Chain A
Amino acid sequence: MDFVDGFATHYNYWIVIILMMTGFYLVIARPNMVKQLVGLSLFQGSMFILYISFAYVTGGSAPIIVEGEQSYANPLPHVLILTAIVVGISTTAVGLALVVRIHQAFGTIEEDEIHDLTRED
């Protein structure tokens, strides 16, 4: 793939992958649990951009039927992501609640410290 051609047509996908990998790095490399959840939501956000990029049509308009308009963005990915966003915040809320409970039980939210504490027991 020629790099210059690829830049114009695949720029969105490349940035999505950079964002996705940033989130992935936070999840696997950082011991702090709040930071891990932020990383998870970065990952989620990049996924949303990927789907909405698939739905986009150059010169199209939003999928609300208007007389005289011929070209619309694909509504199906919009529906999938719409529900995914709300489900995502609900599951993130469960994760955050778990972090609060972990802090009450161990007094820390650093993964390696919890590991040390449980090993001593």
Chain B
Amino acid sequence: MTDDVVLRVLAKQMIPFILLFALYVQFHGDYGPGGGFQAGVLFGAGFMLYGMVFGVTTLERLFPGGAFRIGIAAGVLLYSAVGIAGVLLSGNFLDYNVLAADPKAGQHMGIIVVEFGIGVTVAAVMIAAFYAFARPKA
């Protein structure tokens, strides 16, 4: 935590845009550069910046560490669920063609959901690791 006014004001201005950019990278990843891995790390970096400037205690009051522990597993489960959905719709594991009537629409849907799962896990791991290093006794 810092008392530097410049840092506090600038961080407050920038963090919403970092998180917005992360969401853009997440959901625009099929048309431009980006995807789940990049978005997850960017999202995590936004949280880390907040924690560094305003103190990890403040951040933890807003977002308890337990939420991110659930997020770590939730992303992987979402990814696997898409794979199993393919099996249930009589395709192969992780076969997106069967997810919608049109194979191309199915591919698109599958890719977006899978990338979202990746993003959730990566962001949650980054923030959980940050908590662990910043407050090792918690």
So, do A and B actually touch in the complex, CB under 8 Å? yes
Nearest chain B CB to A24 CB, angstrom units:
26
Nearest-CB distance from A77 to chain B (Å)?
15
Distance from A97 Cβ to chain B, minimum over Cβ atoms (Å) = 7
| Cβ B37 vs Cβ A100 within 8 A | no
Q: Which A residues, 47 to 99, have Cβ-Cβ distances below 8 Å to chain B? A: 62, 64, 82-83, 85-86, 89-90, 93, 96-97
A96, B133: Cβ atoms closer than 8 Å: yes
Number of A-B contacts (CB under 8 A): 24
Whether the pair B129, A93 counts as a contact (CB closer than 8 A) is yes
For the complex, give the distance between the alpha carbons of A93 and B33 in Å: 26
Contact yes or no, A86 B32, CB < 8 A: no
Contacts of B29-75 to chain A: CB distance below 8 A: 31-33, 35, 37-38, 40-41
As a 0/1 sequence over residues 110 to 138 of chain B, the CB contacts with chain A under 8 angstroms (1 = contact) are 00000000000010010001001100100
Picked from B37, B38, B125, B132, the residue with its CB within 8 Å of the CB of A97 is B132
Contact A64-B32, Cβ < 8 Å, known A86-B37, A86-B122, A90-B125: yes
Q: Are B37 and A83 in contact (CB under 8 A)?
A: yes
Known: A86-B41, A86-B122, A100-B136. A64 touches B129 (CB 8 A): no
B100: min CB distance to chain A, Å: 21
Residues in B neighbouring A90, C-beta threshold 8 A: 125, 129
Given contacts A62-B33, A86-B41, A97-B132, 7 further A-B contacts (CB under 8 A): A85-B37, A86-B37, A89-B41, A90-B129, A97-B129, A100-B133, A100-B136
Q: Which residues in B have some Cβ–Cβ distance to A below 8 Å?
A: 31-33, 35, 37-38, 40-41, 122, 125, 129, 132-133, 136
